[in-house]
Structure 1
Amino acid sequence: MTENNAAATTSGRVAIVTGGSKGIGRETAARLGREGYAVVIGYGGSKDSAEQAVKDVEQAGGRAVAVQADVADEIAVAALFDRAEQEFGGVDVVVNSAGIMPLAPLAELDLEVLDRVIRTNLRGTFVVNQQATHRVRNGGAIVNVSSSLTKLARPAYSAYAASKGGVEAITLILAREMRGRDITVNAVAPGPTATSLFFDGKPQELIDRITAEPPLERLGEPSDIAEIIAFLAGPARWINGQVIYANGGSVA
């Protein structure tokens, strides 16, 4: 499908993108805007970043608003969906890319940090998906963001990888629970991607080593992942109940 044809079929569709103020979420919001979506950018922290993400979508040709919401708070998430319906008339696509990634060996990880990772990454996915089951219109799509770290088993990532393993389980089960609704449910599992979430707290030696691992010998770019999410959100109607590992060949 050409980009122009894709825009013709997605014009008028409405997407919610959590974690949409930066990284993969922000790039995804702009990518959907390029295809004519109206986008509700859910963000947790920086209002300035969220407002810039709105401008990115508008410059790409879409419409957008930014709404602050804690993805693990069911009342806040319901209000996020309410805003999408009020502004744009409904919801067709939900992309759940909000997440945090504090790193430490399992033996040293503070359990309060573990609770925070599980709350945002796992409970947040559950809450957003639960609301999506009630709000997404037939013909729509739910796309969760997991991680290739569920397969890479890299030291210091136990909490993050465990939370993302749960994201994949939710995704596969929900796809089957949506039987008869004409709504696809998939997950994208990026490998190392050039975002602040990846770079923060890592020494250059580790960054260089991870960058060299894929056969393509580079980090993923947010645009690499956004392209896959946009495909799953729109034309990829026969891909359902799948985890797509997007990591340049680091792991199958």
Structure 2
Amino acid sequence: MSKHSLSGKVVIVGGGAKNLGGLISRTFAADGAKIIAHYNSAATRSDADKTVADIKAAGGDAIAVQGDFTKVDEVVKAFAAAKKHYGSIDIAINTVGKVLKKPFAETTEAEYDSMAAINSKAAYFFMQEAGKQLNDGGKICTIVTSLLAAYTGLYSTYGGMKAPVEHFTRAASKEFGSRGISVTAVGPGPMDTPFFYGQETPEAVAYHKSASALGGLTKIEDIVPLIKFLVTDGWWITGQTIFANGGYTTR
């Protein structure tokens, strides 16, 4: 199979049930990929089932797999389920994350631990298991955040816990490179999804919309083509974190 095509490739999508992950699952399936749409808990099972049903209705091939990726054994089980069903895995994309907007001085230990587990630990062990289970020539991509280049308060645990993923990406790309596996991270700007609005005031939403040079919030439809490029024709890009945010932040 060509590294430039998704046809016949097996793709596991962490958080692949809805929003950005759901669009990745549907889009890649439409291009001929076989999809493992991961979902976290019973709360998102219906989203995962609908995504799989939509893919199958369109003539594609997909399954849903549940797992709390803050627990390493559940990451391992999700990859094992994918390999058991499809025989092998070619591409691993992780969109799992959680935002917390809160003053530094008010953040609790429980909140810190939760944010670290969801945004850093889950990403680390997803990448680790992908490195173990992907076919040679595979691709790994993780969603981070453009806040990594922002000079701002209130997102200390979100930006702070996504920041290590930049180095995880560099280290993994160096270690997995001998097998032809490229590893990248993508940092969208504030995305026009329910993931964004939950913690923002109307005034903050207005600011975020006005902050990008090209105007408005990041659309998930603008991120999926970049991810598709990175795991196909853009395979030569590795170890990099790429910001796709309409000029929201840069460095």
Under a length normalisation based on structure 1, what TM-score does the superposition of the two structures give? 0.93
Instruction: Tell me the equivalent position of 2:213.
Output: 215
Q: List per-residue Cα deviations over 1:182-230 (Å, max 9, x = no partner).
A: 1100000111111111111322121111101111111111111111111
CA distance in structure 1 between the aligned counterparts of 2:55 and 2:227, rounded to whole angstroms: 15
> What is the aligned counterpart of 1:159 among 148, 157, 160?
157
| Structure 1 contact 31–227 (Cα < 8 Å) conserved | no
Q: List per-residue Cα deviations over 1:139-185 (Å, max 9, x = no partner).
A: 21000111110111332101000111011110111101113101100
CA distance in structure 2 between the aligned counterparts of 1:168 and 1:16, rounded to whole angstroms: 20
Instruction: Tell me the equivalent position of 1:12.
Output: 8
Q: How many angstroms does 1:44 deviate by? A: 0.6
Instruction: Tell me the equivalent position of 2:74.
Output: 76
| Structure 2 contact 213–246 (Cα < 8 Å) conserved | yes
CA distance in structure 1 between the aligned counterparts of 2:80 and 2:115, rounded to whole angstroms: 26
Instruction: Tell me the equivalent position of 2:33.
Output: 37
SS in 1 for 2:205: helix
- Matched letter for residue 14 of structure 1: V
Length, aligned pairs only = 247
Instruction: Report the identity percentage.
Output: 31
CA distance in structure 2 between the aligned counterparts of 1:224 and 1:209, rounded to whole angstroms: 20
Q: How many angstroms does 1:231 deviate by? A: 1.1
CA distance in structure 2 between the aligned counterparts of 1:123 and 1:244, rounded to whole angstroms: 21
- Matched letter for residue 85 of structure 2: E
Q: How many angstroms does 1:62 deviate by? A: 2.7
SS in 2 for 1:159: helix
| Structure 1 contact 7–34 (Cα < 8 Å) conserved | no
Q: How many angstroms does 1:8 deviate by? A: 8.4
Instruction: Tell me the equivalent position of 1:182.
Output: 180
Q: Quick one: structure 1 residues 154 and 61, their matched pair in 2 at CA, closer, same or farther if it must change by over 3 Å?
A: farther
| Structure 1 contact 7–36 (Cα < 8 Å) conserved | no
Report the RMSD for the aligned CA atoms in angstroms: 1.6
| Structure 2 contact 3–233 (Cα < 8 Å) conserved | no
| Structure 1 contact 14–93 (Cα < 8 Å) conserved | yes
- Matched letter for residue 42 of structure 1: H
Instruction: Tell me the equivalent position of 1:3.
Output: none
Instruction: Please list every run of 5 or more consecutive structure 2 residues that lacks an aligned counterpart in the other structure.
Output: none
- Tell me which stretches of 4 or more aligned residues in structure 1 moved more than 2 Å: 6-9, 55-62
| Structure 1 contact 36–61 (Cα < 8 Å) conserved | no
| Structure 1 contact 193–219 (Cα < 8 Å) conserved | yes
CA distance in structure 2 between the aligned counterparts of 1:191 and 1:133, rounded to whole angstroms: 27
| Structure 1 contact 191–250 (Cα < 8 Å) conserved | yes
Instruction: Tell me the equivalent position of 1:28.
Output: 24
CA distance in structure 2 between the aligned counterparts of 1:56 and 1:170, rounded to whole angstroms: 34
CA distance in structure 2 between the aligned counterparts of 1:41 and 1:51, rounded to whole angstroms: 9
Q: How many angstroms does 1:83 deviate by? A: 1.2
- Matched letter for residue 93 of structure 1: I
Under a length normalisation based on structure 2, what TM-score does the superposition of the two structures give? 0.94
Instruction: Tell me the equivalent position of 2:116.
Output: 118
Q: Quick one: structure 1 residues 134 and 238, their matched pair in 2 at CA, closer, same or farther if it must change by over 3 Å?
A: same
> What is the aligned counterpart of 2:106 among 95, 108, 129?
108
CA distance in structure 2 between the aligned counterparts of 1:151 and 1:184, rounded to whole angstroms: 23
| Structure 1 contact 189–246 (Cα < 8 Å) conserved | yes
Instruction: Tell me the equivalent position of 1:65.
Output: 63
Q: How many angstroms does 1:75 deviate by? A: 1.3
